[in-house]
Structure 1
Amino acid sequence: MPHHVDAGLATTLKRVAATLKSADLPFALGGSFAVYAHGGHSSDHDVDFLIREQDKEAALTALAGVGFKTEQPPEDWLVKVYEEDRMVDLIYRPVETPVTDETLRDCEMISVEAINMPVISATQLMVHKLLSYSQHYCDFATGFPVARSLREQIDWNRVRRETTGSPYAEAFLILLDRLDVVPLPGDQAMGVGG
């Protein structure tokens, strides 16, 4: 973990992970802390866990039981828990796609702040990042550090396959090619992710 990660946030992350683990609820770390766990860089500092929708109530109950404040916001794709002013998102439908057992299998066990936990794969992180871009939110600056720092761990063919429908993802992948970060297929240097 990089030095500039807030120590309080890291502690909160550990408490949420430990609580979900002891409640036997399947989960995976996502978002910027997952990027850090893979050794990458991210411009956000949010704590996101992926859970299945059917585990939402059980997760909130378990976390409320150890003193977290819980919130069901109007958005129908996540719930939130708070420890003091530190917020953690429990996301069950990132980028309009429900979290399934398969989503949670696409993980690596990584020691994050000395707790072993499932972390979503670098490839899945990149897919989620690209599918989050829309006409309302299209800040490519959040994707570049992730793409650059994790590019060796990312299956770029799969990223292209799973983001086919998105013109924003396509534009981002063209930029990565032009900036010599990741070549598009058909270019000579196709060693990446193969």
Structure 2
Amino acid sequence: MAPAIELLLLIPLSFATAWVQTKAKQATTQAHYQLLAYGRRLVRRAALGLTMLITLLNFIALYFLIKALLGGHGGTAQTLLVDAVNIWCTNILAFALWFWGIDRGGPASRGVSLRTQPDLLFPQMSIADERYQGWSPGFVDYLFVAFTNATAFSPTDTMPLSSRAKLLTMAEAAISLLTLALVAARAVNILA
């Protein structure tokens, strides 16, 4: 049921994003730009709300899986492994969306505003090479950060700078650690 709810929320969010982008191309007056700024804020809040919902539902799924494990009702090893992989992959995607959505004001303002402070320090931002001047991370960069954090339980080459990025990094690592250490270990124990 959770994926259906998320999909139902994602569809209007996608249409709203497309509407704002279309209107941005047609904007000519200050009133148009103010309306666009308001629309972008609403879309950003809705996107962060959807990301929060995905994260919360994934955490609830992990909670019930651990509760079933501790109660002796975890199921077969194959079921546990599938559940662990599902929770772990959802964790990566959810936190990639978090990182993408918060860093420097989100994707809509990342390349526009130079005033926003970065939440994450990518290696390309530290290289004194003209090829990387003005470089801006894309979604794949945030997906990589989330994947390496979920795998190593700590940041690898991209450092969290803000408190919110550090808290998100800690939360992702904790969820991954619980998923892999408890659920996957129990599944391997059953197989052995």
**Same structural fold, with TM-score higher than 0.5 when normalized by the shorter chain:** no
TM-score by length of 1: 0.28
Q: Which has the larger radius of gyration?
A: 2
Greater RCO, 1 or 2 (C-alpha within 8 Å, sep 6+) = 2
Bigger strand share: 1
